Structures are given as structure tokens and as C-alpha cells.
Structure 1
């Protein structure tokens, strides 16, 4: 703002100087014109003495252009100096009036500005320069009321209003009446610009919120709680009052049901447990099973699956503390590409996908004495397959106890699937939650959520933290930046707000911030994905903001396109979100959609993942387990036949199946990798072309490419230029390889990452993934045939290895050159703006993509240039002659 003001003043100053110059030149020009005309009129007549004298006077009185500019600049700078000094004094006065509430940063700024003011004031007084700073005249208490009455006597609204007790009330000022009318009128405005954060500011940087911009809510439903609101204080146990871990465990709601739970497990092979988040079921039930002897003295394990990696790691850490064990010993966890367990592990938390892979080595799961499938109501793909497999295993193994933890709304369906297994209800520590809906639909739910955060913070009492549900990392980072910027502008005018986030790719040390206690006289705002619905419990949440959306994978078997799209959440998910507000006392949930939308537009339950994703990895796993009758396999919700057939076709094209639908030797090797079969094929092929090291690197980097680079707000141009240095003419696969090789050359330096605006934590994760893939590769016999010290791998060999697995993902440039078309399905797709090949002129004629993402349009992420010869070499069995000829003709044109 100051730059714009200064620029404007500069322009006005130049125009003023130029106008003066023009006036001077005009006066001189008039004299010279007069002189010339006189000479032409009478060349013999001598110049008149009086006119010559006048001309000389004008020349002496008119200043030069340089003098005028100098005078103008000095005058402006002097005035600007005094104005700035006055602004500085006003700022110091504001600080002095609020010294007790200043933050450390503001206090430091106050001392610094005080020194500057004293220095300037001393210099001006030394040179006897007046400082015309205006201050309000002092008014004595005796005559203050008289002056005030005289000033406003003509502005009173003369009529008096009768109050309820019969006494008259003074009328309003005309100014107050006008303000009230304007306020009421603003409330009726329906079209509000929601693209910007509404933080109207005053001249003194006192930021306030205009209440007319608040989101209006209706009082709607209420989630009844299991606790009486009057017992809020007595039921909440502080950390200081908990003298031991045993006290903490006994304070959980699940403790009262310990004996009832163990009795039900003893009498039934399968038990459905309905327990809300916060009841303690995830941390306590596995310990109860261990204490009851189902681990057989350490000979067998108690397993507990989680749908998300964050939940598995955080819960395992907590249980290890409760059991006074080092993480990885008696208590451990296993997630993709990370194993914190050992031979001593008794209780193991693992993702459902990792338990699914354990079926390959041990189809009966003989090393488990009891299994708990937690958060089963989320219906993830791996959980869905696990339930079908465990249904058969429990019948074959009477000694195995199976516990299915589910939300209330799904409990009956799970019970019927497991032959009418009994249901045990364990209430959570939940208080009533009042649910509020917006009166009208919100066009921009991000803006509405930001406004509601400050609306809660300014109108609702402390303490009580806020939980906001968002769809993904991008939305969370956008809102976090906006909130931090707004909080910085508001300064000490509001109570402190602490912004923290939770999503899958966030580093562990940053994830833990959401569990830290909120400082006194402040409020915490947690921005979370749907991981906070059920998987984790965050203490202190009293308010929930629910925009009503979730990000889901959606697979179209006809086009073969898998897209991550934002869709409305289900009513079951919305109720789960609302329940987060009732853990410590009565809470409130603000839904950024109407009540009519909740009951008429939201599905009752979320769509099971098995009905909306690509099943190629699951089909390969089931075939490896000897399950060949996939159509009649006992799924709780069977997927469509088209999806199964599409997966079988692709597995056959990759060489994992023979013509009879049986697994080949290559297919069994592909199944050893916890990867998409297309990636596995690339690794297995790389041995033939001597580029295994490079392919392992590229695959590990592709999995982390989304969070590899970062762009600080104040250094975006610099970050973009650094990123461009890694661009490769053949595409993103080679760009990622270059990043790794340069980092490896610095001995995996953190400083190098900082200099190149690359996330060090992301590269470390890629390094861990690569090391595990290398171990798996050696186990299946993949070795490079080229001595790395003597020869460099030609790029063509790397291209061949990648095309061998991703030949279905090849597209050609359209005739118009404005998009790309798939060889089999003729629909348009575009290179993602983050790609090193965007924009490249002329655009490559044929490219291969890693993934297709549907946002504003179909974007291809991580693309690589390919030659038509490679398409014929590796895709002739997949594409028809017509497809290949069409592609060749288009390319030639």
C-alpha cells in the first residue's frame, strides 16, 4: 500500500514540476516571439529601451527548471518527513496505550520505533526544525459535559421511547440511527464477494470484522450425548491429576466394559464392537486381549489394523508408553515401507493393506491369536477384502478371535455378514452437540470456513478449540496461509489463534502439534482431512466446522481413468465429524450447507471403496492366494463385473496371467512388490536393460513427487527458477532422476535441499522407499547387468523399462495440437502445468503419463516423451492395428 501511495505522489510531483517548466518556457517564448515580430516589422528601427528592460526583468525573475525541480523535491520531502514522523508518533501512542497486551514481537517493534523517533526528533531540534504535530486539546472534566452537550444537542432524536418499566429512554442520535439503518440494510445483501477474506481496516490498522459479513446459521439438530452437561467439569481429568498411566486407562469409558468385552470374546469367534472415537477401544482392547492370555505368553501376536498410516503410528506410540515398552519391542507397527516391529512384538498396529500382504506368506495368519479390524465402517478397499478372507479363516481356525470395530450405522450389516455375530456397544465420552446449518448455500466453502473460524473466535467463550474438515493437503495449506496472514494483521486486537494441520503427507513432528495442549487465553484451530473423523482423538475440540466435502478415488473401467475428485460426504460421515465437538463438554457443529441438503442430497453411507477404484492390485493378490472364482467371491458389496474384467485384461497385457487366466512366473514376482503391478513390471524389466538402479530411483521419487518442491511466498520466482534447472527434455521421470542424482552427489545434504527449495523430509522418505524396493528386487532376482562405475545408462534403456509397464498410458498429440488423445479411448487430456514439458514448443507428439487427474480438466501428471517405435515394441499386443496406424498417421502429420 505504501509503495502505491509513494508512486502516486511521485507521479503528481513530476506532473507539478513539468507544468511549472511549461509555464516558464511559455513566458520566455512569448517574449522571444514578441522580439522576433518587432525585428521583422522594422529591421531599421532600434530596439525600444523599455521593452528591452522588461525582457531582462522577466529573465531574472523566472527561475530555471533545475531550480524549480529542486525546490519542489525539497518541499515534498520535508512535508513527507513530517508526515511520517507524525505517523510514527501515533503508532507509538497506540503501543503505549496497550503495553500490557503486546506480544514479544510487538514489544520489540515498539522499542525499535521509539529509538528511531527519538533520534529523528533530536536531529530536527538540533537544526531548529519545527515539528507541527497535531494533538487534541486537553478538556477539563468540569466543562467536558457542557461542550459535549452543545456539540450534539441538535442531533438528538427528540422523541422518547417508553421502556417496559414505564420509564422513558433517551432518543437515538441521528448518526446512530443512520448507522443502524445501514447495518440492517447490509444484512439484507445476498450477493457477497466470497473470494477475499473480509477484514475491513481502519486508518490506524485496527482490523475489525464487519458483522454483516458473518455466515448466518439456523439452529438445527442435536446429537444427544452419553454425558450430562452439568458434569462437564467433574468428568474432565487434567494431566496434573492423573498420577499414573493406570489412572489414565481407568478413566476411559471402555474400562467399565472390560469384563463384559472379554466374556463376549470368549464365547464368540467374531464380535462386533461399536465404540465412538474417544472411548479408548483402539488403545485398550488389544491390551485387554493380551492381558487375558490370547497372546499365549508372547508366542502369538494381537493385531490391530488401521485404515491410515498416521493412526497406526500414533496409536502404537501411545500404547508403547502405556505398556512401558520401547516402540518396536513389545509394541510395534507396520506400514508401507516402514516396519517398527520385531520378534518380541506382542501387540502390532498395522495398516489393513499390510495385513493383506501378510496373507501371501501365511494364508491362515497362524502367528496371530486375535485380530481387531478397527474403523471397519470406512469400507476401504483393503478392509473389504480382509473381511471376506477373515470370514473363511475364522471358520477354519477356532482359536483365532476376530473383533470388528464399526460405527453404529454399519454395525447391523457387519453382524449379518459374519453370521449374525453379537454386537457390543461401548459409549464414548460424548456430550450433546448442537448442529447449525447455513440458511443459504455457500458458493465458496473455503471463504465461509475462514469467516466462521473468526466468527466463533470472536463470539464464543474460551476455552474451546476449533476443528475444520477439509478435502486435502492443498486446501489445508491454502487456508493455513490465509489464517496466519489474517492473524498477523489482527495482532493483539484478538486473543491468540494457533493454527496446526494434520494430513497423511505431513511430517511426523508437525503432525504431533495437534496433540499439544492449547496455551492459556488462546484457541487452537486444527485443519484436518477426514482422518480426524474417527482415526484419532484431539483433546480440547469444542467446535467443528464441516464444509460437507471429501476427496475420493473414482475409477471408470470403460475409460481406464482413475481420478481423485471432491464429492459431498455421507450423512454418516457428517455425524462422525459433528461428534468430535462433544468430547470435553457440550459442543457445536457448524455445517456449511443447508438442512435440506443434509437430508436430501447427502447419501446415507459412504460408497465402499471397492465399488469405485481400480482393482488390479487386489485381483493379483487374490489370484496369488489361489482364489480364482473372482465373480462369486464373497464380498460384502461385490464390485461390478466390468471392473474385474478390466483388471484381468490389464494383468494379461502385463504378462502376469496366461491365456487361461492363471498366474505366470512373472506375475508371482510382480506380486512380491507392494506396488501397482505396472510399477512392478518396470522393475522386473529393468534388469534386462541394465537400468535397475535408475528405475528404482524413479519409482521411489514418483511416489513423493507431489510434495517434493516448495514455493515460499516471498521467494516464489527464485524457487521456480531453481526448479527449472532440473527440467529434462525427455520429461518428468528424468527430471526426478536428476534431482536424486544431484542430491546423492552431495552425500544427501540437507543444505543442498534448502538451496534448491526441495523438501528434505520428502527426499528422505523416497530414500527409505528406494532401499526397501532394492531389497525386494534382490529377493526376486533383479540385478543390473551394467557396471555403474564404467558405463552410463543410455536414456533409451530407461524409457524402454518404463514403457514396458505403462504402455496403456500412452497418448498422442491431437491434430489441432491443443491436447492429447489416448490411443484406445479417444478423449482429450492435457499436460499438467507442474510438468517440465509444460509448455514446450513444439509439443512432443507422443508421451507417457504416470497418472491422470481430473480437476478442472483431465491433467496428466509426470509425463515422459516416447517414440512410436517403443509403442509398437511394447504395446503391439495391447493396441489394435487400427490404433497404432491411427497414432502413426497422426504423428507423421
Structure 2
């Protein structure tokens, strides 16, 4: 850096003067008026300012602001609880204010929708402004912003969605990518596209916030950019297990009870491998808690998983009494969400996680149990602070992966490819991935988009593909929704898409109430399949909202349904309706229940999900999936699972989801007609199906004359010695099936 630049920077932030960093960009914190809203500062602002100055990130404020002035891209390396997610966005807002917002405002991405809201509320408080005005947030299905917003928190997927209308993000002067080490698909896409955007917009500033060792990867990817390292906060005392972590579940629960018996102050966080383990642990701890003596105090197990509503409330509320202890039960994603939990004094880390890994060959997810990364382990050791304890239920010399596996390597990237094809139309170059997707997965994604008619002969987006990219759904569901416009069943398909996009509406019943819950859910079951059952539930929920004497919350409780999930489905349906109206697609009037409507819904479903067809090969529920020859069963909670003993199972079904696990179950299943299937499925997809008896059955329906001719040719080809007196072939010689190519 030149001496002239050094001199200019020293004028901005003279490090020799105490408190000079507060006067950066010419706006001092000691001024009476708030430069963001023009109002006098409150006494709370000054109180919070003193707390902010104690954060580790505050010590690098001057260095960060110098780097921001002189570089397009800045990387900040730091752990949780350093204040990076609250302070750096505020300094970036001051930077944009100093330029009178001529290049735009500030946006800060988060991987968790709950943390985006939580941070926005905290930062609005620290900046002494109103949430939704100068500081706001945007998360799926909820926006709290205005024309006055200068700093906005949002989820990474929402910023990607914004690029559909603003490919070069010209609305922003500073873009902050927080939690880059989480390696979500949306964050990785942003990191790849921002390289091209920075070349197109020299005035833009990008700040990447991440934990080591991922910061080293960022440095090698972007080359010659400043790195600012924050001093890590002191980790808690770590106690490691002397045995392997294969049997971690019950030792973790026993450890919770032992901590509670010590009567030491502080709440407990336990990280389990999956949501199923979390629910089981909650049930066991509730039962064991009733057996503890009153002198030990009340132990309250609390389920906290990323994406669940009410997280800030659960973390900020004080226990009912001084003797109450909360035990937070969480999964392995989103450790950074605990930055606001001041009451946690004990952390129990099982050291393992269950991950879904997508297999492009069979178009299905497989569940794997694997160790967490060293990065995750380091975060957990710091959550309880220097005075707490972290119990690691794995050996100290265990070899953990250095960093998380990028989600883009483990997931179905068909939606990603559709988005990137749309960005090519907008003028952005190829996405420069930090870790490139698997070539096999990429080819499968392109093939799937071709089957869905989203690509033209040159491999670019077709008109259908462009419309599909506008709809915030997976490509298959987007295609089914588009097909419903042709078959006059849009209203019903909107409901199906919303219900499948929202969390499951079926609530797990309390102990001893399983039979009652099953009986209640059975009232909604539809003989045509699970998709129709979801419509029944949604329509009944809407009817409960219209009843003046009956609240929808009470109605959901009575029928063991999740009210928040149904409200989410309602919001998703409204958003999808707005999208269809915006792109001027017709929305037909609902006519659910008629024979023609039922037929049309199935045609629309097959138009999008023709790659997910299965046939019951023996009449006992053993379904053969045509695309990859795997055998599967209908999920026990399916309406077919409940009615199979009465009505029998359908022979042909379309399913929404299939997971390769212990049960190999298909979820959300609907009976279909094979005749309708061969009408709706693209012929070139059908021809590419692997040979099977099920495919032969469909082929006979498609061209019965060709099938008869094929059999006659086979008979002629069999030697006379291999035929009996009746002329039937009984030899062992095999011949290729007559397959249309």
C-alpha cells in the first residue's frame, strides 16, 4: 500500500487516540443525533455501546474499515460470540451512509431464518432505530423492511431469489456473506457468482465472515484479498470420553441427569445426530425428570432445531424459578444460533450427525451417520464460555474432518442448475464454485431438466424453463403446477404444493394418545391417495378458520395437527398464487371432489413426477421403482398403509419422496392409471427406462401390435428341437426383449 494511502487512512482512524475508532467515516458515536434517523440517542444506546466495545471484534474495527475503503472484498475470520454478525454490518452501514447510499444499501445473509430475525432485532436495538425501518429482515414468507431500510438481514436463499430480478445486485453497496463456513448450497452459489459481479461492479464491496479453516480456502479462491482475524473467545473446559462414540445416546442422557444432580447453575445444551433422537430424548428426560427429588429443582427439556419458530423466545426467557434448569436438545446444524444464549453453562457433544446424501443414479437420498467436523466441534466448545464445561462423547485423539462437506456435493442440484441457467440469460457468466459439483450429479440434473422440457435443443432454458425458474418450487413440482393450468386444477395443485413445501402437518401425539391421533387423521384420508388427503386437511383447516365459535388452534389440537405447519402452508399457497398472478397464468376455480377434477390432478402430478413411478409386483406392497429397479414399501402413515388391510394396495403409484434407509419407504403416494401414465410421460424418458417386466406392461399398452409381432418373431427364432408338440417354447435360451429405441 502506498504512503499516500497510509496517510489518508490514518486521518480516517488514528489508532493512537483512545476511542478514535468510534469516529470512523466521520460519524462519531458521541454525537447527540443519530445519523440514521436524525433523532437523539436514547440512554439505552449508550449502555449497549459500552457492551459492544467489549466484544473481540471491536479491537479490529479500525483495521476492518481501512480494508473496506481500499478493497472490493474483505475476509473476516472469527468464531461465534466475537460479535462479527452484529458489529460488522453496522460499520458497513456507516460506510454506505458516508457515500450517501449512492452505490446502495447493506445486506447481510444468514443460513438460518431465525438467526436473520434475531440479529436484525438486536442490531436495530444497538443502532437505536426501529425494526422494519432503518434495519429490517427478509426471510421466506416474511418481510420486515421499508423504503428507509439501510441494513437488511436475509437468508442466503432469499438473496438468490432476489437475483432473479436484479442479477448484479445493484441495490446494494455492501454485501455481507455471514456463516460462509456452513457451506449451504445457496451460500456456495453466492460465493461463486460474486466473483463475476465484482468484476462488473468495481464500486461494490463484499465482506465474507467465516471460521477457520474455511477462511484459508476462501483466500486461495479469491486471491490477494485482506484477511482480518479475530481473537477467539476462550473455550470452555473440554472433557473427552475414553471410549468410542458408537453408543452415545444414553450416555448423553445419563450425563444430563448427573449435571442436574450436582445442583450447579446453568442450562445444558445437548447436540444429537437427528431430530428423531431429539424427540426421543425429550420424552425420556420428561419421564425421568418426574422421578427426581423436589430439592434438585425442575428440569425442563426444550427441543430447539434450526427452522423451528420461537427460538429467540426460548433462549431469552428466564426459567420459572431459580431452581429450574432448561436442557436444550438440538441437532447438528446451526451451532451459530446459540450466540445469544447467555444462560448455557454445559454443552454435551455427541460428535456425530445424520446426513442425507443424494444419489443421482437412483434419484433418492440415503441416510448416513458420520462424525461432525472439527469446525463444528470448536464452535461447541465455545458456546458455554470460559467458565463452562463441554463434554465431548468421543476420544480426544479422534480424527474429525477439518470442515463441513459442502451441501452442493450431497444434494440434488437440479434446482441449482435451473437457477444458474436463468442467470446465464441475465448476463452472468459461469458460477466459479469453490467446490465443483459432482459431474454425475450435474449430468443427471441436466437430463432431468431436459425430461421436464425446461431446456431447448441447444441446452438453454426453454420458455417453459423460464417460467419454471420464476416459481419458488423444486423443478418437478413447478412443472406439475404449470401442467395444472392446462388441466384446470390449479387451485388443488396450489394446495398440494404448499402442503408438501411446508413442514409435516401431522403432530406427534402425546404418550398414550397414539390410537386417538390415528383415528383423527383417518377422518381426512382420501381413497385416491395422500395428495388428496392433504387437500382434505387444508380445506378442513380453512373451514375451521371461518367458524366463529371454533378457533383454528383448538381445532388443530383436537385433530393432532400442527397449527404452525398449516399456517406456513397457507402462507406458501398465498405466495405461489401471487407468483402465478404476476406471470399471468390462469387460476381455475376449485372443484375438488368431482371425477374430472380427480383425473386432472393425477395428470398434473404425473406431468411433474413421471420419474417417480412404482408398481406393486406381488400384491403385497412390494413396490418396484421403474427408474432404478429398487424395491420399496409405502410409508406406514400413508393412507394406503392404514387402509391396506381393508381395500388392498393400488398396483401403480406416483410418489413424492423416496429415501434409501432401513425401511426404504415412499412418502406421499397416489394411485395412478398406467394408461394415463403413458399418455403423460415423455416418450424419450419412457424409452430410456431400464428393462423390466413393469416396463414391458407399459410398452404393451403403448403399442400392443408391436408387442404381438415381437412375440411371433421370438417364436420363429426358437429351434424346433426346443418346442413341444403344442409349439410353445420351453428351451432355456434367452432373447433380448423387443424394446422401442
| Range into which the TM-score falls when normalised by the shorter chain | 0.7 to 0.9
User: Once the 2 structures are TM-superposed, how far is the Cα of residue 413 of structure 1 from its aligned partner?
Assistant: 1.2
CA distance in 2, matches of 1:639, 1:669: 25
The match for 1:611 among 409, 412, 423 is 409
Question: Quick one: structure 1 residues 378 and 790, their matched pair in 2 at CA, closer, same or farther if it must change by over 3 Å?
Answer: closer
Is the Cα contact below 8 Å between 2:406 and 2:435 reproduced in 1? yes
1:324 and 2:106 aligned: no
1:497 and 2:299 aligned: yes
- Which residue of structure 1 lines up, in the alignment, with residue 649 of structure 2? 843
CA distance in 2, matches of 1:872, 1:523: 60
CA distance in 2, matches of 1:662, 1:694: 31
The match for 1:709 among 499, 502, 507 is 507
User: Once the 2 structures are TM-superposed, how far is the Cα of residue 471 of structure 1 from its aligned partner?
Assistant: 3.0
User: Once the 2 structures are TM-superposed, how far is the Cα of residue 830 of structure 1 from its aligned partner?
Assistant: 1.7
Is the Cα contact below 8 Å between 2:621 and 2:649 reproduced in 1? no
Is the Cα contact below 8 Å between 2:635 and 2:666 reproduced in 1? yes
User: Once the 2 structures are TM-superposed, how far is the Cα of residue 788 of structure 1 from its aligned partner?
Assistant: 5.3
Question: Quick one: structure 1 residues 387 and 424, their matched pair in 2 at CA, closer, same or farther if it must change by over 3 Å?
Answer: same
Gaps of 5+ in 1: 1-239
CA distance in 1, matches of 2:654, 2:240: 46
Comparing 776-785 with 405-414, which one deviates more in the overlay? 776-785
User: Once the 2 structures are TM-superposed, how far is the Cα of residue 245 of structure 1 from its aligned partner?
Assistant: 2.6
- Deviation string 1:395-426 (CA, Å, 9 cap, x unpaired) is 22121111111102111110121113111012
Question: Quick one: structure 1 residues 629 and 606, their matched pair in 2 at CA, closer, same or farther if it must change by over 3 Å?
Answer: farther
Question: Quick one: structure 1 residues 285 and 637, their matched pair in 2 at CA, closer, same or farther if it must change by over 3 Å?
Answer: same
More helix by share: 1
- Which residue of structure 2 lines up, in the alignment, with residue 309 of structure 1? 113
Q: Secondary structure in 2 aligned to 1:512?
A: helix
Gaps of 5+ in 2: 1-42, 547-551, 702-741
Comparing 867-876 with 748-757, which one deviates more in the overlay? 748-757
Q: Secondary structure in 2 aligned to 1:327?
A: coil
Question: Quick one: structure 1 residues 732 and 424, their matched pair in 2 at CA, closer, same or farther if it must change by over 3 Å?
Answer: same
How do 1:60-459 residues align onto structure 2 when only pairs under 5 Å count?
A: 244-293=47-96, 296-297=99-100, 300-428=104-232, 430-459=233-262
How do 1:635-674 residues align onto structure 2 when only pairs under 5 Å count?
A: 635-674=433-472
1:587 and 2:388 aligned: yes
The match for 2:265 among 454, 457, 463 is 463
The match for 2:316 among 515, 530, 535 is 515
CA distance in 1, matches of 2:428, 2:634: 36
Aligned positions, number: 646
- Which residue of structure 2 lines up, in the alignment, with residue 479 of structure 1? 281
Is the Cα contact below 8 Å between 1:289 and 1:370 reproduced in 2? yes
The match for 2:363 among 560, 577, 582 is 560
User: Once the 2 structures are TM-superposed, how far is the Cα of residue 252 of structure 1 from its aligned partner?
Assistant: 2.2
Q: Secondary structure in 1 aligned to 2:389?
A: strand
Is the Cα contact below 8 Å between 1:565 and 1:854 reproduced in 2? no
- Which residue of structure 2 lines up, in the alignment, with residue 880 of structure 1? 687
Is the Cα contact below 8 Å between 1:689 and 1:785 reproduced in 2? no
Question: Quick one: structure 1 residues 715 and 546, their matched pair in 2 at CA, closer, same or farther if it must change by over 3 Å?
Answer: same
Q: Secondary structure in 2 aligned to 1:837?
A: helix
Comparing 674-683 with 476-485, which one deviates more in the overlay? 476-485
In angstroms, what is the RMSD of aligned CA positions? 2.7
CA distance in 2, matches of 1:645, 1:888: 24
Provide TM-score, normalisation by structure 2. 0.82
CA distance in 1, matches of 2:447, 2:456: 11
Q: Secondary structure in 2 aligned to 1:857?
A: coil
User: Once the 2 structures are TM-superposed, how far is the Cα of residue 565 of structure 1 from its aligned partner?
Assistant: 4.0
CA distance in 2, matches of 1:534, 1:278: 8
The match for 2:524 among 702, 721, 726 is 726
Question: Quick one: structure 1 residues 856 and 259, their matched pair in 2 at CA, closer, same or farther if it must change by over 3 Å?
Answer: same
CA distance in 2, matches of 1:824, 1:855: 18
Is the Cα contact below 8 Å between 1:832 and 1:860 reproduced in 2? yes
Question: Quick one: structure 1 residues 794 and 847, their matched pair in 2 at CA, closer, same or farther if it must change by over 3 Å?
Answer: same
Is the Cα contact below 8 Å between 2:96 and 2:106 reproduced in 1? no
Q: Secondary structure in 1 aligned to 2:513?
A: helix
Provide TM-score, normalisation by structure 1. 0.69
Is the Cα contact below 8 Å between 2:235 and 2:381 reproduced in 1? no
CA distance in 1, matches of 2:689, 2:579: 39
